[in-house]
Structure 1
Amino acid sequence: MGDVSHILATIGQEVEDADEESFLLFSQDIPSSNLGFVDSKASAVDITIHDREYTIHQSPTLLSSSRAGGTTGAVLWKITPLFASWLSNTSSNPLWTTEHLTPSSTIVELGCGISALTALALSPLLEPQGTNGHYIATDQEYVHRLFRQNLQSNPPKATSKASSSSGIKKGKKQQKASAAISQNDAAQLNPHQNITFTSLDWETDHPETLKQQIAAAGEEQEAGEEFDPGFDLLLSCDCIYNEALIAPFVRTCAEIARLRPSPSAFTESGSKSGRKPTICVIAQQQRSPDVFEAWLRETMRYFRVYRINDDALGRELGVGSGYLIHGLVLRD
């Protein structure tokens, strides 16, 4: 298992100056992606990731509404399938090849939106073990209904067969019928048992309680296991588009990262504690250099920032693609 310094060296070069980074990135030719929607008028879009087809339901009506608090999470954005595909490539993504991510990892996403696409792509790679092997998706409550619908519309490959055979066995043996009904109801609401959605307000909520949602969703902590409130990976995809959001967003990232040991503590004793520092991976479409630079300045107050290199990202997400991917690790 590689330590954090090795992982960061694999990810790319550390950003030392916000002005220089912004100038370098925005002086490139940037392909036009309009606002960045996949199809803002369709009620459903079909997406393929690693030969797996997904149908994603969305809400053009909600997107165009005047809902207070924003509506950008109501539809799928172009960067999300690319980001989900890159993250779920276990053979080339440095987070997997360095074993920072493993089947027992816990992942949290900020601003997941309605699609559930990143969660759907990563959840088959996670194996629930107590409170580990789990994906927590967070956003405002208004996305919850469509998020749940997209989980139901894209069940795990073996879910239907496994559920029906399991139901037959229980029927024959007549074992705890009421409990079986309850479990089946839960599976219908969320066939992906290692994905949990919870609302999270970056300005008012307390991220340290996020992982308690796993137990509430039915994943009991294993006997004798010390509760770990932290996460191996924090993800965010295309949430940086408004300067007013920057401070609460970055503060929330920092609060979540502080739930785990600092990078130096892991280097010295992480092999004993088994708890890795949280790595944050922030993806965004190139739009406003002013907003990007404001985000980077604020982020560098709390984190060391690494622009993930093109070798690790590939052509579709590398420099000049119109998308930016940065890795963050909390400063000591």
Structure 2
Amino acid sequence: MEQITSFLSLLGEEVEDAEEEAFYLFAQDIPSSNLGFVDSRATTVDLTIQNQDYSIHQSPTLLSSSRAGGTTGAVLWKITPLFSEWLSSPTNPLWTQSLLSASSTIVELGCGISGLNALTLAPRVHHYIATDQDYVYRLFRQNIETNYHPSTSAKSSKRQQQSQQPKRKPKQQQQQPPTTTTTSSPNITFTSLDWELDVAGSLKASVGLEAAPLDGNDDDEEEEEADRGFDLLVSCDCIYNEALVAPFVRTCADICRLRPVYAADGHDGRRRRRPTICLIAQQQRSPEVFEAWLQETLRVFRVWRVSDEVLGPQLKSGTGYLVHLLLLR
């Protein structure tokens, strides 16, 4: 727990009041970014992150369609490359404080078609599970296959390669395990996840990762129990509709409950696995939607707004972007 406590000390004061936080953030001058698309008319977007070039395929046609359930994940949004650049930087405190390492597992909610967070982080961790609605999978897979660049620091792929592609089952009006589809990269898996219908707790089991070994910092005396949780949960620009707030926060909480809660003294009464860290990045649009999200989040999470010193110039206050860190209460 010491690493998390040290990391939290870099972030500034804990957020206690949703209304006060919303007022402070939205009282500032915010640059206009329209809706936040990089280029909603282009079928390909080229960009560079950490000196690595990426060519992201997207679908303007799908974005403008009347598909039930929404189409916002069909194109790349401006905050995603900035968040990927920051999160994958070797100077990010998550790496320097050893909260992320080659043994880490990460889950993303609402990954969209780009796969940028997976592309930039997966080469440095054990496994990355990207989740979203089924419709993004075809382009997500194309972007992973086109842009994946293995790292010499990555784990051997033989324990990560999936042997087959499970058949997809029709949705039922009750909670059920998510269905999983693999990519050609050794440690990235796409899994469909409905925040209202699917069981988030089965994510690791769905890709055969539930029996993964404990983090190297854990004592050998701890009970040999499958770790169903994750070191990091990320979500980028998924909070734009008040109707999505409750199921989104509930899904975040369900995933975080697979690990112990944070205790500053290091005593959680259960295990000494680290808690799941949540990082929620979003563009500033509606103060009402933001406040609704934060009010719901504060019911079950402790919240910190990541400081400008940690975020750097591209995501700091005044850019129109926000990054909050969540730890389950």
**Do they fold alike, i.e. is TM over 0.5?**
yes
- Asked if 1:195 is matched to 2:188, the reply is yes
In 2, the alpha carbon distance for the partners of 1:307 and 1:261 equals 22
Q: State the partner residue of 2:116.
A: 117
Contact 1:283–1:325 (CA under 8 A) maintained in structure 2:
yes
Change (3 A) 1:183 1:278: closer
Change (3 A) 1:70 1:287: same
In 1, the alpha carbon distance for the partners of 2:104 and 2:47 equals 25
Q: What one-letter code is carried by the residue in structure 2 that aligns with 1:108? A: V
Q: CA deviation at 1:222?
A: 6.5
Q: State the partner residue of 2:159.
A: none
Alignment of 1:57-72 (within 5 A): 57-72=57-72
TM-score w.r.t. length of structure 2: 0.84
Deviations 1:9-53 (A, max 9, x none): 223321111111111100111011111000100111111001100
The 3-state SS of whatever aligns with 2:260 is coil
Contact 2:110–2:132 (CA under 8 A) maintained in structure 1:
yes
Deviations 1:95-151 (A, max 9, x none): 11211111111100000000000100001111xxxxxx1110000011011100101
Structure 1's consecutive aligned runs of 4 or more residues displaced over 3 angstroms after TM superposition are 182-185, 219-226
Change (3 A) 1:264 1:199: same
Contact 1:12–1:309 (CA under 8 A) maintained in structure 2:
yes
In 2, the alpha carbon distance for the partners of 1:44 and 1:78 equals 14
Q: CA deviation at 1:4?
A: 2.7
Contact 1:308–1:326 (CA under 8 A) maintained in structure 2:
yes
TM-score w.r.t. length of structure 1: 0.84
The 3-state SS of whatever aligns with 1:114 is coil
Q: What one-letter code is carried by the residue in structure 2 that aligns with 1:114? A: I
Q: State the partner residue of 1:285.
A: 283
Contact 2:262–2:268 (CA under 8 A) maintained in structure 1:
no
- Percent pairwise identity: 64
Alignment of 1:226-305 (within 5 A): 226-264=225-263, 267-268=266-267, 273-305=271-303
Q: CA deviation at 1:155?
A: 2.8
Q: State the partner residue of 1:106.
A: 105
Q: State the partner residue of 1:168.
A: none
- Asked if 1:149 is matched to 2:147, the reply is no
Q: State the partner residue of 1:31.
A: 31
The 3-state SS of whatever aligns with 1:263 is coil
Q: What one-letter code is carried by the residue in structure 1 that aligns with 2:67? A: R
Alignment of 1:75-90 (within 5 A): 75-90=75-90
Q: State the partner residue of 2:177.
A: none
Deviations 1:225-250 (A, max 9, x none): 63110001100000000000000000
Contact 2:230–2:276 (CA under 8 A) maintained in structure 1:
yes
Deviations 1:63-121 (A, max 9, x none): 00000000000000000000001000122x12112111111111000000000001000
Q: What one-letter code is carried by the residue in structure 1 that aligns with 2:93? A: P
Q: Which moved more, 1:224-233 or 1:45-54?
A: 224-233
The 3-state SS of whatever aligns with 1:33 is coil
In 2, the alpha carbon distance for the partners of 1:152 and 1:221 equals 25
Q: CA deviation at 1:194?
A: 0.8
Q: CA deviation at 1:184?
A: 11
In 2, the alpha carbon distance for the partners of 1:252 and 1:135 equals 17
Contact 1:139–1:199 (CA under 8 A) maintained in structure 2:
yes
Q: CA deviation at 1:300?
A: 0.3
Deviations 1:300-327 (A, max 9, x none): 0000110000000001101001000000
Q: State the partner residue of 1:5.
A: 5
In 1, the alpha carbon distance for the partners of 2:251 and 2:131 equals 12
Q: Which has the higher helix share?
A: 1
Work out which of the two has the higher radius of gyration on C-alpha atoms and give 1 or 2.
1
Q: State the partner residue of 2:157.
A: none
**Residue from 200, 213, 217 that aligns with 2:206:** 213
The 3-state SS of whatever aligns with 2:123 is helix
**RMSD over aligned Cα atoms:** 2.5
